[in-house]
């Protein structure tokens, strides 16, 4: 068994609001070593490098071994314990940020199953070790650490995709890819043909999978997404209506106003006035 050790790094300040590493490290535990019960204010992923232990969440206990990973979300009451006879050695990374929840939702963890056995354990453990190896207080160190975290998550995302049934991939995945394309390109002058091409299906097939999975057509979804982003800008920015229209992909202000009124029941100007008068009443 490896000698008992703990190597850790804590980030005390960060300017990266989208994805920030709070802490990372590696530890070889003594038999029976326990953390918790307690909560974290950030996401935390551990990977078992050697030995065994247990992870407890919401009254459920999972017995873990080499190659297993477990996830803790902010404010979850958790407890993890090293096996008395074969205590584990693990690596971990704690992180948070504006895009953390979206990234975590694409990893192979579920609320009822917050553990995962790695198919590519060596690659994942390498990425975790590299996060720690690139530690440091400078912005260049943080950039390297966050870069390694993205690579670690990308490998986990691939494992999540690999374990999905192919029947799901052939239908739902088209919709997921199309929605992701819309989220990254809604402010451009894109068409449904552009979306279908990005996904790799015909326009008619994209329409069918959207109707069966989302309950609305691709153009209706794109319009709703753009109007939703426009509402956010109306609430939280000082941009003019014309500037907001361009920012969400409408290059004709009058057309934007007509579409906005059709969707929300009032034109943008009245929506904005209502926000000032009674913000709680606005959907």
Residue 10 has pLDDT above 80, yes or no: no
Q: How far apart are CA 280 and CA 258, in angstroms?
A: 24
Going by their DSSP bridges, the two strands 78-82 and 115-117 should be labelled as unpaired
Overall average pLDDT of the 261-270 stretch: 92
pLDDT at res. 281: 41
Name residue 61's beta-bridge partners.
56
pLDDT at res. 282: 41
Chain position carrying tokens 């530690």 = 135
Average pLDDT over the chain reads: 89
**For residue range 109-147, what is the model confidence (pLDDT) as tens digits?**
988 899 999 999 999 999 999 999 999 888 899 999 999
Overall average pLDDT of the 41-58 stretch: 95
- Reported confidence tier of residue 163, pLDDT bands at 50, 70, 90: confident
- Reported confidence tier of residue 236, pLDDT bands at 50, 70, 90: confident
Phi, psi angle pair for 227, to nearest 5°: -65, -35
pTM score above 0.75: no
Q: Is 29 exposed, middle or buried (0-12, 13-18, 19+ CB in 10 A)?
A: buried
Confirm if 99 and 183 have CB atoms less than 8 A apart.
Answer: no
Contacts of 2 (CB under 8 A, 6+ apart): 28, 50, 89
Tokens encoding 257 = 């106003």
Give every strand in the sheet of 115-117, ordered side by side.
5-10, 20-28, 89-96, 43-50, 68-72, 115-117
Q: How far apart are CA 12 and CA 128, in angstroms?
A: 20
pLDDT at res. 167: 45
Closest C-alpha to 131, from 110, 158, 153: 153
**Residue ranges, CATH 2.60.120.280, the chain:** 5-162
Residue 195 has pLDDT above 60, yes or no: yes
5-162 folds as: Jelly Rolls (2.60.120)
Higher confidence at residue 279 or residue 51? 51
**Residue ranges, CATH 1.10.10.60, the chain:** 166-283
pLDDT at res. 15: 63
- Reported confidence tier of residue 279, pLDDT bands at 50, 70, 90: very low
- Reported confidence tier of residue 1, pLDDT bands at 50, 70, 90: very low
Q: Which architecture does CATH list for 166-283? A: Orthogonal Bundle (1.10)
**For residue range 66-114, what is the model confidence (pLDDT) as tens digits?**
999 999 999 999 999 999 999 999 999 999 988 888 899 889 998 889 9
Higher confidence at residue 167 or residue 247? 247
- Percent of the chain exceeding pLDDT 90 equals 68
Confirm if 268 and 257 have CB atoms less than 8 A apart.
Answer: yes
């Amino acid at each position: 068994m490896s000698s008992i050790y703990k190597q850790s790094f804590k980030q005390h300040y960060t300017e990266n609001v989208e994805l920030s590493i709070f802490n990372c490290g590696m530890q070889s535990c003594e038999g029976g070593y326990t953390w918790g019960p307690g909560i974290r204010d950030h996401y935390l992923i551990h990977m078992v490098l050697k030995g065994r232990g247990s992870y407890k969440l919401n009254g459920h206990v999972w017995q873990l071994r080499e190659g297993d990973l477990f996830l803790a979300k902010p404010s979850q009451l958790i407890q993890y314990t090293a096996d008395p006879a074969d205590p584990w050695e693990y690596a971990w990374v704690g992180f948070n940020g504006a895009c953390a929840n979206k990234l975590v939702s694409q990893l192979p963890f579920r609320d009822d199953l917050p553990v995962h056995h790695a198919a590519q354990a060596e690659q994942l453990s390498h990425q975790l070790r590299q996060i720690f190896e690139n530690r440091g207080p400078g912005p260049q160190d943080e950039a390297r650490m966050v870069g390694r975290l993205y690579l670690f998550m990308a490998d986990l995302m691939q494992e999540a995709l690999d374990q999905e049934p192919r029947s799901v991939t052939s239908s739902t995945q088209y919709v997921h890819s199309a929605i992701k394309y819309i989220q990254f390109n809604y402010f451009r002058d894109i068409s449904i043909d552009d979306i279908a091409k990005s996904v790799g299906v015909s326009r008619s097939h994209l329409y069918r999978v959207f109707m069966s999975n989302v309950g609305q057509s691709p153009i209706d979804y794109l319009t709703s997404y753009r109007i939703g982003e426009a509402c956010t800008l109306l609430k939280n920015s000082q941009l003019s209506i014309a500037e907001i229209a361009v920012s969400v992909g409408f290059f004709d202000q009058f057309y934007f106003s007509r579409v906005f009124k059709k969707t929300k029941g009032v034109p943008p100007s009245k929506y904005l006035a209502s926000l000032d008068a009674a913000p709680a009443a606005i959907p």
